[in-house]
């Protein structure tokens, strides 16, 4: 069974860390089966409706591209279409060469009628980012990011990986030494994935700007970004996908031991990381809430 269809025993699709280890910034890349590249899930239909609306109302906020990268965009779009046809034909129809239809919503897109990333973002849950080798640096060159988590796409376009991650605490010590090398060594025959997470005070997935929202810990949300990396065979272009989910944090208390272990990880964060994750106001309250094991 695909990962997106098999919910973890804790109730989360991708549960919070439960080993109690101190928080560390790591790449954590894992092998990805081709059948798991594009995820489904019970929340997808509602997400697609929202994504269509966001694209229609505020295209400039969710899409950006540099000129000259049409060919790798097209190649990756063809790979996605082929993947949908091979592994998700129960949910997608292919009436013509560039037409793809999501059966449940009835949404149909023509990949030749608009930028393929924008079109695909209307019928799959993944946000799509093209990262290309330009002047010996890996640079964000095109993207459809419908669900940004406290960052503006317009500010990231054309920047290198190091520039994009500059605001991340401890990035220079933890990830920068290996980031460019990791992209250089990506194997086109081996797709990989990693998980990023955050805690949010409200469930809105489209959050381009950080807010100072605060909430009772029982009303916090567990946000996951399941990220994948796929490299083209003959050229230095990588597709970075982001599949976002938001789930009630409170369901972790169904397993008190896991809640307490996650609380230990949260408690180990330094002040810079706490601030970066937007938890300065509620961090200790969330730790105490998870340690208490009490379901409100």
Q: Is residue 205 part of a domain?
A: yes
Continuous segment of H or E residues that includes residue 164? helix 161-164
Tokens linked to 213: 């929202």
Domain count, the chain: 1
Cβ-in-10-Å burial (0-12, 13-18, 19+) of 26 comes to: exposed
The whole-number pLDDT of residue 294 equals 66
Q: How crowded is residue 15: how many other Cβ atoms within 10 Å of its Cβ?
A: 20
Q: Is residue 14 part of a domain?
A: yes
Alpha-carbon distance 226 to 168, whole Å?
Answer: 18
Alpha-carbon distance 223 to 228, whole Å?
Answer: 16
Q: Are 191 and 37 in contact (CB under 8 A)?
A: yes
At residue 173, φ and ψ (nearest 5 deg) are -85, -35
Tens-place pLDDT, residues 134-175: 999 999 999 999 999 999 999 999 999 999 999 999 898 889
Tens-place pLDDT, residues 18-48: 999 999 999 999 999 999 999 999 999 999 9
Q: Is residue 183 part of a domain?
A: yes
Strand partners, 247: 222
Domain that holds residue 138: 3-249
Q: Is residue 194 part of a domain?
A: yes
The whole-number pLDDT of residue 9 equals 54
Q: Is residue 264 part of a domain?
A: no
Q: Is residue 284 part of a domain?
A: no
Q: Is residue 267 part of a domain?
A: no
The whole-number pLDDT of residue 173 equals 87
Whose CA is closest to 230, among 33, 13, 1, 25?
A: 33
Q: Are 294 and 253 in contact (CB under 8 A)?
A: yes
Q: Are 129 and 145 in contact (CB under 8 A)?
A: yes
Alpha-carbon distance 14 to 103, whole Å?
Answer: 26
pLDDT in tens for each of the 296 residues of the chain? Answer: 344 444 555 689 999 999 999 999 999 999 999 999 999 999 999 999 999 999 999 999 999 999 999 999 999 999 999 999 999 999 999 988 899 999 999 999 999 999 999 999 999 999 999 999 999 999 999 999 999 999 999 999 999 999 999 999 989 888 988 899 999 999 999 999 999 999 999 999 999 987 777 899 999 999 999 999 999 999 999 999 999 999 999 999 999 999 999 999 999 999 999 999 999 999 999 999 999 976 55
Q: Is residue 293 part of a domain?
A: no
The whole-number pLDDT of residue 295 equals 59
pTM comes to 0.94
């Amino acid at each position: 069974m695909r990962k997106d269809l098999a919910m973890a025993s804790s109730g989360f699709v991708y549960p919070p860390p439960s080993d109690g280890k101190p928080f560390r910034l790591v790449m954590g890349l894992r092998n990805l089966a081709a059948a798991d590249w594009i995820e489904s899930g019970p929340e997808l239909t509602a997400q697609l409706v929202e994504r269509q609306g966001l694209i229609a109302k505020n295209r400039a906020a969710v899409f950006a591209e540099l000129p000259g990268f049409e060919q790798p965009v097209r190649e990756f779009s063809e790979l996605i279409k082929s993947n949908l046809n091979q592994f998700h034909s129960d949910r997608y129809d292919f009436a013509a060469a560039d037409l793809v239809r999501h059966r449940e919503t009835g949404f149909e897109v023509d990949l030749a009628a608009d930028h393929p990333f924008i079109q695909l973002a209307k019928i799959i849950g993944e946000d799509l980012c093209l990262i290309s080798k330009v002047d010996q640096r890996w640079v964000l060159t095109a993207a459809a990011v419908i669900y940004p988590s406290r960052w503006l796409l317009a500010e990231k376009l054309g920047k290198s990986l190091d520039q994009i991650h500059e605001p991340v605490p401890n990035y220079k010590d933890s990830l920068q030494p290996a980031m460019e090398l990791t992209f250089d060594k990506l194997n086109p025959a081996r797709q990989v994935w990693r998980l990023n997470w955050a805690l949010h005070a409200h469930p809105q997935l489209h959050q381009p700007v950080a807010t100072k929202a605060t909430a009772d810990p029982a009303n916090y949300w567990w946000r996951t970004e399941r990220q994948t990396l796929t490299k083209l065979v003959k050229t230095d272009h990588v597709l970075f996908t982001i599949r976002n989910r938001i789930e009630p944090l409170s369901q972790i208390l169904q397993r008190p031991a896991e809640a307490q272990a996650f609380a230990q990880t949260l408690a180990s964060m330094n002040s810079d990381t706490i601030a970066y994750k937007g938890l300065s106001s509620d961090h200790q309250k969330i730790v105490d809430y998870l340690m208490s094991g009490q379901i409100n």
